A and B are shown apart, each in its own frame.
Chain A
Amino acid sequence: MATQAKTLTNSSVVGEQAEQSGPLYIVGQVVKYGLLILMTLILLGPFVLAFFGSFKSVNEVLSSPPTLWPQNWQPENYSRVWNAQQASGDDFITQFFKAIGLGTSLFPRWLFNSVFLAAIHVVLQLFLCSLAAYAFARLDFKGKNLVFTLMLATLMIPGVALLMPRYFIINQINLVNTYWAVILPSAVGAGGIFLLTQFFRSIPKDLEEAAAIDGAGLFTTYSRVILPLAKPALATLAVLEFQGSWNDFQNPLIFLNTPDYFPLTVGLSALKDGYSSQVNLILAASMFNTIPAILIFAFFSRYFVEGSTYAGVKG
């Protein structure tokens, strides 16, 4: 690895003044782009294979040697997954799905649950984290530094160690197996507050002073001055929070036990247990989670990059 790093820094740092022609230069370029393309194939290969695999027959998806391009396309894998399991309960949402002609299939319900939970998480995190961040960035009050330090310290606590006790706290307030159980513990978080606090601190104070002279209260200053100026940071948090909730597995696995409430991730794991031999169906089901995630990333990639530290904090 070290030797590779050497040659690569070599090309990056000295590249400018290196000879731009000659056989050595060309060989170097071919090796460099060869490695880049090989790496891209390794990183993207699994997704491409899974995408084509989702259109294959059971026999072909497990055939040896494996195929890349499906021999006969089987788009019905998708409709079979869509209708694979039926809702067990008959709550308000199931009735609504029946009324609009979606029937009682579980799969669309899982999709809805994922979108719903992600949307609620985004709204709550943006509002509650920005409130706290405004206090940390702009207000001077007793005990501020202590709370801020405590908040940063909580980032060290392994989330998995809190799962069991959180389950029993949620159980005490009778919310197990409701959407609330998944929403409440992650409605506001240290990562989001920290991200927004850093951004709020970078906003010049002039506008707030002008607002204060005009007699604006602190809440008005927060909502009318700070929030509009913080749109890039809020967008970053929104995108990361959506992705975090969309991909979350552990929390819904623990807090929900009726399949009707599962988000897609937990649903996929349940499908894997029920259809372990039909890999093509599992892959088709996976695409419903992956393709929206990829689309969101494609449209908002710059926010992912800006928030990479936060994403890291979330594990």
Chain B
Amino acid sequence: MAVKSLPPQRQGMKRKTRENVAGWLFLTPYLISLIVFTFGAIAYAVYVSFTDLKLFGEANYVGLGTYGRVLDPNNPLNKFWKALGNTVIFSVIVVFFQTWLAILFAVVLNSKIRGQRFFRIAWYLPSVTASVVISLIFFWMYKQQGVINYALGGIINNTLGLVGIHFEPVAWLDNTTTALPAIMTMNIFTTIPTFMVMFLAGLQDIPTDIYEAAKIDGASARRMFWSITLPLLRPVIFLVTVLGTIGTLQVFDQIYVMTNEGGPLDSTLTVAYLIWFEAFKRNNLARSAAISFILFVVIFIFFLVQRRFLDKNATD
């Protein structure tokens, strides 16, 4: 930019100084965005969380008062703990299944099969579709007369039915016990493919002669999976777990589209939904900001735990 047309007297400027100036110039657009939309936003959120600001009102400093009210376990109208519980259950279960299934899928697709290219593309498809569209499709399939009940009924009644166990159609999203698991299942389905591709790349980085050597030593395939494949995939497992956790702790779109404000009876209410709800439906900005900050802390704690157990560089 400015560097391109340096005035003559500055041509002699030392290369080092020139790079110092140019470096910051090239970074300027990103820095503006970082300062305004990240640091500015964080500063604003932290400030608001120490006040009692509502959409139409004055901000009075209340210290930790808003946090105290958000964390108050005795107020039956306080939905934070319910939302946090749902979110943590959602995250732990979804991340566990999506990671293991993604490894399994990757190992399958990495083996010698015909039509490998077709399967890779077909299996990736759920990852390219908008969460809103997936939610709308599953909203329809989860209905009482929907295809999921039909399929489950067909499978269960024709097998377990012989020993007297019968399946009755369930309105999956209208039931406090089934709504959250139904959304979790859908989420696992849509996130596996992205992570599968990351594991495929990881598998291809493992040199084949390690397996050859293990085979000569008489190692079983099972032993090789647990002693070679999994340990060498550890960096990818760490990355996938961290990304999966950050993503699932923020689940929002699915709840917004598939449920009625986190219902029935708050059984699908998540922290991310509560952040949006407090700010834009209840106009309670202070509460929304405080919950946002608590969510950030929760995500950071999850990250530290995962780094402790999964990242082998962390102990250095």
A interface residues with partner B (beta carbon < 8 Å): 1, 4-6, 8-16, 32-33, 35-36, 39-40, 42-44, 46-47, 49-50, 53, 61-66, 128-129, 131-132, 134-135, 139-144, 147, 150-151, 154, 156-169, 184-185, 187-189, 193, 217-220, 222, 243, 246-247, 249-250, 253-254, 265, 268-269, 272, 279, 282-283, 286, 289-290, 293-294, 296-298, 301, 304-305, 308-309, 311-313, 315
Contact = CB atoms under 8 A, between A and B. Distances in A.
Contacts of A297: 121, 124-125, 128
13 contacts: A5-B107, A140-B19, A167-B280, A169-B40, A217-B5, A218-B22, A249-B132, A272-B136, A289-B129, A296-B128, A304-B197, A313-B243, A315-B247
Interface of B: 1, 3-6, 16, 18-24, 26-27, 29-31, 33-34, 36-38, 40-42, 44-45, 48, 100-101, 103-105, 107-108, 110-113, 119, 121-134, 136-141, 143, 145-147, 150, 189, 193-195, 197-198, 201, 211, 215, 221-222, 224-225, 229, 239-240, 243, 246-247, 249-250, 252-253, 256-257, 272, 275-276, 279-280, 285, 288-289, 292-293, 295-296, 299-300, 303
A312 B191 CA distance: 9
B123 A39 contact: yes
B301 to A, nearest CB: 12
A156 B197 contact: no
B221 A14 contact: yes
B129 A247 contact: yes
A132 B221 contact: no
A142 B224 contact: no
Closest 7 CB pairs of A and B: A141-B23, A12-B111, A161-B292, A247-B130, A10-B221, A135-B26, A165-B41
Give chain A's interface secondary structure class.
helix
Contact of B143 (A40, A62, A162, A313): A62
A13 B257 contact: no
A119 to B, nearest CB: 17
Contacts, number: 305
Contact of A265 (B20, B107, B130, B246): B130
Given A5-B103, A12-B112, A165-B41, A50 B137 contact: yes
A141 B23 CA distance: 6
Given A154-B34, A249-B132, A131 B29 contact: yes
A78 B263 CA distance: 31
A32 B113 contact: yes
Contact of B250 (A40, A64, A158): A158
Given A63-B145, A141-B20, A219-B1, A164 B45 contact: yes
B215 A14 contact: yes
B150 A141 contact: no
Contact of A301 (B21, B29, B121): B121
A9 B126 CA distance: 25
Contacts of A188: 29-30, 33
Contacts of A289: 129-130, 132-133
